[in-house]
Structures are given as C-alpha cells and as structure tokens.
Structure 1
Amino acid sequence: MGTIAFAVSGAMVAIEKRMDVFGVIVLALLTAVGGGMVRDVLAGITPPVTLCNITDFVLAMLTAALVSWLYSAGWVSHRGKRHIIWLYNICDTIGLASFTITGMLTGLSHENGNPYLLPVLLGVITAVGGGILRDIMAQRMPVVLYKDIYATASLVGALISCLLYPYIGLPGMAWLCFVIVVGLRFSALYYGWHLFHPRPNRFR
C-alpha cells in the first residue's frame, strides 16, 4: 500500500515538472523505495531488501506508467487541479503512515540499546526519505523541511505507538501508528496547521 501510494505521489511530482516517462518512473521509484533503502543501510541490512525483491520495483513502475497514461488520456486535466492535489495528499499521507510502520518494524527487529530510539528514527527516515530524494531530483526544497505537519506526524505516531507497544502488541501498535499519522496529517491539511517558522520581529 505504501509503495503504490508513494509511487503515485512521485509520478505526480514528475508530471508537474513536465518530465518524460523515464523521469516519471525514476521519481516514482525514488519516492517508493528510496526511504526503505536508506533505512536498510542504516540498520546494517545489505544489500537493501528492495534490491533483493523485484516486487516493489514492478509495483512502482506499473503505478508510474498508469498515472502517466491516465494523465495523457485526459482522465486528469488541468481543470481538475484541485482533484490532483487531493489525490496527491491522500497518497502521500497513506505512504507516510505505511512506511512509518515498516521502518518501526525494522527497528524493533534490530533492537539494540534504547528500545525507542532506533524504531522511531527508522520509522521517520523510511517515511520521509523517499520524498526528500524525490524533491531533490525535482529541484525543489524538500516539502518536509517547511510545509505542513509532515515528518512531525510520522515522529509523533512512531513515538506514541512505540511507547504503547508492550501493552497493545504488534498489530495494535501498527494500527495505532497508522491512525495517528493519518489523523495528524489530514488535520494539518484541513485546518492549515504548520510548525513554528522563526521570523524577525519587525516592530523592534
């Protein structure tokens, strides 16, 4: 679910930047598997799982091809820009929550020392790493650094679910994390929540 969702978001950024179909596929792949590859390298899993299993690659490439076809066939038009943004945000949020969970599971399976630090950090890195690579390739500032409640939603969901993991078990932890991340992200989009942006005081 996360792979397909992030592949859609990567493909839509590529289309917005007017890339050709190769660029669309590259950005879809980067967004879908980039964060997981960074996670595996940091966790000492080499080669990364993605490079040993073709499923994620095929899913991302097929998704990118489908998005490209739908756009060129007129299913997605310039008039439907609001629907495009809506679809992008839904896919990006689902991917954010899903990959936060997979990163946490990797951290829990490699528990060493602090029981929270590794799962939480790997969860956040898995969730936002692909999006950062996507934005760098698209020559724009990574959204995670300035817009909305994004990485913060992943961080809060991972931390709370990790703290409650001993009491609710693995399935409960995964679902709790998913609900928290999706809830925070959609609430931020709906209500226009943002983190504090330091600004100079002009009235001094």
Structure 2
Amino acid sequence: MSFLLLPFDLLGTFVFALSGGTLAVRYRLDLFGVLVLSCAAAVAGGMARDVLIGATPPAALADWRYLVAAMLAGILTFHRHQTIERLRNPVQLFDAAGLALFAVLGTGKALDYGLSPFAATLLGVLSGIGGGVARDVLVARTPVVLQAELYAVAALAGGGVVALAEVFALPREPAMAVGAAACFGLRYMAIRHGWHLPSAHLPEDRG
C-alpha cells in the first residue's frame, strides 16, 4: 500500500475500532471485552478481504500498527466513553466513517491484486461490512447489514465509484475521495432520515 493511502487505512481502522469499543461499553463489557470488540470491528473485514485476494499474511497481522490503532481506540473508548457518547449517535457515525474508508480502500487494494472492477467492488463491500458483522455477532446483536438500512448499499456505492474510475481510466485518488464521500453521505442520510430498503413481511404482520 502506498505511503499516502496507509494513513487513511489506519484512520479507518481507528474509527471502526471506536464503534466496536463504544458498543462494548454500552453492553458493559470489561476492558478485555472492549479491546476484543474494538479489534474485531477494526480488522475482521480487511483480514477476510486479504485472505480472499491472496494478500497473506493479512495486513492487520503483518503490520503492528493496525492492531495498535485498534487497541488505542478501545482504550480511549473505555476510559473516555462519556465524552464519546456526547456525540450524536456515535456508534453509527463512527461506523459510517469506517464503512466509507474501508469500502474504497478495499476496492482499490483488490484492483491492485488484479481483480475485475466488479469483483473488486464486492471485496470493497466485504472490507466495509465484515468488521461490523463480527462486532455485532460477538454481542449477539442482529448485524446492521442484515437489517433494513442502507449499509451494504452505501458500501457498494462507494466501492462502485472507485471501480468505475478504473474502467474509464480515471485517476484513482480523486475517485476514492468521491466514493468515500458518497458512501458516508448515503449512510448518514439513511440514519438521519430513516432511508431503508423494503423489508420482508409475513402474512401475520399485516393482521
């Protein structure tokens, strides 16, 4: 990964870890539990992506800075959770920021490993949603991505912008910025205005 992209990857790791740590504090886990949830939210998606594209060992294991960033976020959340909670709906906002960064960075990395734009977009989505799924499963909560909110769709939009730029031979860095903004904006608007996909309904739900 280039020197310019590494800080953004670490930033995505940190903000995803904040979402995991904040959720862990809300579930009243101990310090170890907070660190586990922070690390799971931060690196699970990226590790799954790296294994699938053959980038082994995964970056989260090969570079100590990823786990350190995740653990620092967990410790910060454990000791300063009241400050973080003052932000409006911090779990969702941090999660939206991490989703945007990981979706575009994951798509870009998959493209670098020779995947087609379509496959790279799917890997970008996996990068974005994998950590959130692992975080939610560890606290026995239905993953956000499986609920009727624009979550994976937002990641798909962000990664799709990067993939389209590759198809049309456009500069990647501006495309990643636009893709991240589109992903975050779509996810934020979904949170703020309740945008969602149609949900399945059983016959008894109508009665």
How far residue 200 of structure 1 moved from its aligned partner, in angstroms, is: 3.5
**DSSP-derived class of the 2:170 partner:** helix
Q: Please, what TM-score do these two structures have when normalized by structure 1? A: 0.89
2:183 aligned partner, one-letter code = V
Match of 2:45 among 32, 35, 41: 35
Answer yes or no: is the 8 Å Cα contact 2:148–2:199 preserved in 1: no
Q: 2:33 matched to 1:23?
A: yes
What CA deviation, in whole Å up to 9, does each residue of 1:155-176 have, x standing for no partner? Answer: 1221233113334311121011
**DSSP-derived class of the 2:95 partner:** helix
Q: 2:146 matched to 1:136?
A: no
Q: How far apart are the structure 2 equivalents of 1:163 and 1:102?
A: 14
2:126 aligned partner, one-letter code = I
How far residue 144 of structure 1 moved from its aligned partner, in angstroms, is: 0.7
Over aligned residue pairs, what C-alpha RMSD do you find?
Answer: 1.8
Q: Which residue of 2 aligns with 1:56?
A: 66
Q: Which residue of 1 aligns with 2:184?
A: 182
Q: 2:132 matched to 1:122?
A: no
What CA deviation, in whole Å up to 9, does each residue of 1:90-110 have, x standing for no partner? Answer: 211110000001211111111
1:88 aligned partner, one-letter code = V
Answer yes or no: is the 8 Å Cα contact 2:148–2:198 preserved in 1: no
Q: Please, what TM-score do these two structures have when normalized by structure 2? A: 0.87
Q: How far apart are the structure 1 equivalents of 2:104 and 2:159?
A: 7
Q: Which residue of 2 aligns with 1:70?
A: 80
1:99 aligned partner, one-letter code = F
Structure 2: gaps spanning 5 or more residues = 1-10
Q: How far apart are the structure 1 equivalents of 2:170 and 2:181?
A: 14
What CA deviation, in whole Å up to 9, does each residue of 1:24-49 have, x standing for no partner? Answer: 00000000011110000111122111
Structure 1: gaps spanning 5 or more residues = none
Q: 2:103 matched to 1:100?
A: yes
Q: How far apart are the structure 2 equivalents of 1:201 and 1:21?
A: 45
Q: How far apart are the structure 2 equivalents of 1:63 and 1:171?
A: 27
